[in-house]
Structure 1
Amino acid sequence: MPNVSAPKNNNRTQVNNKKFMGNKLSGRDLIKLGFPKNNSINIALGQISRYRKKEKKERIINEAKDVLLHPENYKNDGTWGKVAEGLINPVVVRMHQLQTTRAPFSIFGENEIDEQAKFQLYDSLKLPISVAGALMPDAHSGYGLPIGGVLATDNAVIPYGVGVDIGCRMSLSIFDLPASFIKGKDHQLQAILKEHTKFGMNETHANKADHEVFSRSEFQDIPLLKGLLSKAYKQLGTSGGGNHFVEFGTVQLDTVLPEWKLESGNYFCVLSHSGSRGMGANIAKHYTYLAGKQCPLPKNVQHLAWLDLNTHDGQEYWLAMNLAGDYAKACHDDIHRRVAKAIGKRVVVTIENHHNFAWKEMVNGKECIVHRKGATPAHEGQLGIIPGSMTAPGFVVMGKGNPESLNSASHGAGRLFSRAKCKSTFTPSEIKKTLKNHDVSLIGGNVDEAPMAYKDIHKVMALQTELVTVLGTFTPKIVRMDR
């Protein structure tokens, strides 16, 4: 999105600043300029307060007057774009009501899914923008869309339909090393994870890596992202808390693709799960707020507020979301690069996928926005990773392109116990015993991520044989999580 600057005009009438009192721009100042008494004033003040508050009032006043005179020149500007849009084509904000009927949907593994998750999907299917939906067998309730929910919409994106952790994804790196490589190296591999992976809010790498993602124009064109660039740079190659992990294990490949240049067999590998860190969370928070202001909904579905992709904010979110997804991939790439370098071996195959994202895809012959909130893309021939828990296997899969699931599959086993329920149900000693029984070493981790908190991954996989073909099985051995 280009950063359109104000056109040069030497004959432009200068603002008489005697009319404007004080050092801070006010709504009264904008009304004096001739701004209509509508929401454009509030939008302008909000943007200026957030991103331009350190600039001189005189400069802002002159720029505001030019926006008023030539709004078409500012349609894509980071600060004034939404204001210009309101001046060119004023939109009346109105309460949206749910439809009386649901859009078509499918549920896979219905008997294994809690009722609240189903009702969350049902509500989303009544949005006037909804085209179709699906629920995966690992589904459980969340905010907005349920986790494991898939929703196709008409030219609109729901920030909470993507989720807070934009671009949360899986990445599996397979080495041309036998599974036996891991034997006798438990302490060595644990040391590598402790030194070369970082978790939580504050841990970062001492030696920062650069990445081409930081040169993207969005970091300069979108004020919100400009303010997040420094933190994103610091957090590159790190993982968050919760269920995010980096783990060593083995993968039994029963079916191999020619381009992998590997034979069927059991190999040493590293698997990671994390997303776009603080950058994605801030994007989700900002645009969810904007969506809620522009798209009022009944209280029970207010988290499903959407942004029209024909609007400035809709286009801006789409750019920001895609950047966050690319940043999440960059984080995984850096994690795997550091780990491979420490091991001293080369990765020969990488399999990866987002599972918190939105895509433009064809649904019933129409281009839609397909939200997958905790769901793996499973188009025909598409590769992906579906993890279990730290003591249960994960699976390398190939999508079958089932239109009933909107070309989707589960993103994991799915939670059986909430985090709060885990804390009141399980003890650290129980977790240690379970880990020992499965010959798994754990660095970090909390009770709320107990292996027992998750559904039976084998049952979940059995419920989606129509959606994916299993190519291989991952077995975790050494797991690193946040403390």
Structure 2
Amino acid sequence: MSNLKINGKTLLKIGYPQSPVFRIAMNVVEQHYSHYTEEEVIELLTKVLADPAAYADNAILGEIAAGLLQPAVPDVIALRETPVPYAIYGESYIDPGAVRQLNNAVRLPVAVSGALMPDAHQGYGLPIGGVLAADNAVIPYGVGVDIGCRMCLSILDLPVQSLLINETSYTQQLMKFTKFGAGAEWKKREADPVLERSEFKDIRFVKNLFDKAAGQLGTSGSGNHFVEWGIATITDPGNEWQLPAGSYVALLSHSGSRGLGAQIAGHYTQLAKELCVLPDHAKHLAYLDLNSEAGQEYWLAMNLAGDYASACHHLIHKRLIEASGAALLARVENHHNFAWKEIHQGKEVIVHRKGATPAGKGVLGVIPGSMTAPGFIVRGKGETDSLQSASHGAGRLMSRTQAKAAITTQTLKQQLEEHGVTLIGGGLDEAPGAYKNIDTVMAAQTNLVEVIGQFLPKVVRMADGGPPED
């Protein structure tokens, strides 16, 4: 049996209208005609397109015929004239494109409230740093392409001096036990409970992603994803782990759900756009009703991708902690590309945080700076106006193209030397100068989080320069 798949480009070429019938036709081919040649499938689909009424009662092809006989273009859903309430933090240094995107989002019919974090910049759908509460609906591009992109910080019992004296050993560990880049896989696959999840069997689309997920488990993406050794300094003597205030060797990682999440995001974003047609300037905000089959499928797939991202981090940390001979003292971790069911103002809503850190009262998180700037261990204050959210980092000051044009290799090298940082991989698009000042960003959100510690990077591993996954 072949692995024949028909995509949207093929259907457009045949003459199929860009509507929900795309998804119907692809599913029918996958379920019933995967053993056909591409030519045979195209011939069959062409016949159905030419006379859909003739196939209306066909047990298999009738589903495609019904899709073709429906109006090809669904009605466009109008946005609200008046936005729902929203808050902006650090507006003076947020680019106008990000503000425009949030303004579109808070006019959706399902919008309840919104917020924009001080690290915000323009993205797709919601801006990076955008937060939106929706009524019983989920926006795939409100979560983002890299579903479950997250931070994970492990604080270890190693003496700080060991990192400064044995830097070569720590560098070698990063080279041996991490793998970066789009499509990167380990030759030896690890077992993990996340790979035994029922979603890999129960959701037709996700089933086809199992092999990719198994191969990429415990790897990191490209762009701003990293694994780094550094020094964590705990400043709050009343911290949750009862650690003495002071400095510790720590391991910090940033990455998401790899190809699994990217494929889920792409599939359900396209489906949302077919089912929920919005004005062109808001089309990436297409949403799925959580009462619908598509909405429930995406919700399950999104949560699977989030748990998969967590498993990737835990496996990376396990390998490196074992290699260093250390013991784990404390761990802080959080998603920042995800959607949660939460209660706000007495009502359950779906809170999308696309590049935003959960900051409910007492909730711990990590907000990184750059490869030379400190990151912060924070405790949420539960601020209602921000939908209990905070920034997910410093935020980009320059686009990747701008950074590559404006920053030289010599400048990057000099900055690394000044801060005593060793960089493995990375590109000019991730240089410190491409990011906002993390201290300025943190100053704009003192009402959202309290700082209980810092992390200073010392040995940083990234993919070679390339496009981001999130």
Superposition TM-score tier, normalisation by shorter sequence: 0.7 to 0.9
The structure 2 residue matched to 1:376, chosen from 341, 351, 357, is 357
The structure 2 residue matched to 1:212, chosen from 187, 193, 202, is 193
Conserved? CA contact 1:51–1:223, under 8 Å: no
What is the rounded CA distance, in whole Å, between the counterparts of 1:40 and 1:259 in structure 2? 50
The superposition leaves residues 141-161 of structure 1 with CA deviations (integer Å, 9 ceiling, x where unpaired) of 111111000000111100000
The answer for the alignment partner of 1:343 in structure 2 is 324
- Could you tell me how far 1:345 is from its partner in structure 2? 1.2
- Confirm whether residue 295 of structure 1 aligns to residue 276 of structure 2: yes
Cα 1:40–1:469 change in 2 (3 A) is closer
The answer for the alignment partner of 1:164 in structure 2 is 145
- Confirm whether residue 408 of structure 1 aligns to residue 389 of structure 2: yes
Q: Which moved more, 1:161-170 or 1:39-48?
A: 39-48
The structure 2 residue matched to 1:325, chosen from 288, 299, 306, is 306
What is the rounded CA distance, in whole Å, between the counterparts of 1:426 and 1:222 in structure 2? 45
The answer for the alignment partner of 1:7 in structure 2 is none
Conserved? CA contact 2:160–2:249, under 8 Å: yes
What is the rounded CA distance, in whole Å, between the counterparts of 2:456 and 2:21 in structure 1? 57
- Confirm whether residue 117 of structure 1 aligns to residue 98 of structure 2: yes
SS at match of 1:405: coil
Q: TM-score, normalised by structure 2?
A: 0.86
- Could you tell me how far 1:52 is from its partner in structure 2? 4.4
- Could you tell me how far 1:51 is from its partner in structure 2? 4.7
Structure 2 residue identity aligned to 1:265: G
The answer for the alignment partner of 1:49 in structure 2 is 29
SS at match of 1:403: coil
Q: TM-score, normalised by structure 1?
A: 0.84
- Could you tell me how far 1:103 is from its partner in structure 2? 0.5
- Could you tell me how far 1:344 is from its partner in structure 2? 1.2
The structure 2 residue matched to 1:458, chosen from 439, 453, 459, is 439
Gaps of 5+ in 1: 1-23, 26-38, 58-67, 72-78
- Could you tell me how far 1:208 is from its partner in structure 2? 2.0
Cα 1:162–1:426 change in 2 (3 A) is same
Conserved? CA contact 1:179–1:251, under 8 Å: no
The answer for the alignment partner of 1:239 in structure 2 is 220
What is the rounded CA distance, in whole Å, between the counterparts of 1:255 and 1:310 in structure 2? 44
Identity over aligned residues, as a percent?
54
What is the rounded CA distance, in whole Å, between the counterparts of 1:137 and 1:41 in structure 2? 41
SS at match of 1:209: coil
The superposition leaves residues 396-417 of structure 1 with CA deviations (integer Å, 9 ceiling, x where unpaired) of 0000000000000000000000
> Counterparts in 2 of 1:181-330, with a 5 A limit?
181-256=162-237, 260-330=241-311
- Could you tell me how far 1:256 is from its partner in structure 2? 4.7
What is the rounded CA distance, in whole Å, between the counterparts of 1:42 and 1:413 in structure 2? 40
Gaps of 5+ in 2: 7-18, 38-55, 465-470
Q: Between Structure 1 and Structure 2, whose CA radius of gyration is higher?
A: 1
The structure 1 residue matched to 2:423, chosen from 442, 446, 466, is 442
Cα 1:247–1:43 change in 2 (3 A) is closer
Calculate the aligned-residue CA RMSD, in Å: 2.7
- Could you tell me how far 1:40 is from its partner in structure 2? 8.0
What is the rounded CA distance, in whole Å, between the counterparts of 1:210 and 1:401 in structure 2? 37
Structure 2 residue identity aligned to 1:129: V
Structure 2 residue identity aligned to 1:278: G
Structure 2 residue identity aligned to 1:242: G
The superposition leaves residues 325-371 of structure 1 with CA deviations (integer Å, 9 ceiling, x where unpaired) of 00000000000001011111121211000000000111221111100
SS at match of 1:444: strand
What is the rounded CA distance, in whole Å, between the counterparts of 2:458 and 2:262 in structure 1? 30
Structure 1 runs of 4+ with >4 Å offset: 39-43, 256-259
- Could you tell me how far 1:258 is from its partner in structure 2? 6.1
Structure 1 residue identity aligned to 2:25: L
Structure 2 residue identity aligned to 1:363: H
Conserved? CA contact 1:375–1:410, under 8 Å: yes
- Could you tell me how far 1:263 is from its partner in structure 2? 1.0
Conserved? CA contact 1:360–1:368, under 8 Å: yes
Structure 1 residue identity aligned to 2:394: A
Conserved? CA contact 1:390–1:451, under 8 Å: yes
Structure 2 residue identity aligned to 1:355: H
The answer for the alignment partner of 2:452 in structure 1 is 471
What is the rounded CA distance, in whole Å, between the counterparts of 1:338 and 1:102 in structure 2? 48
Aligned length: 427
Cα 1:287–1:430 change in 2 (3 A) is same
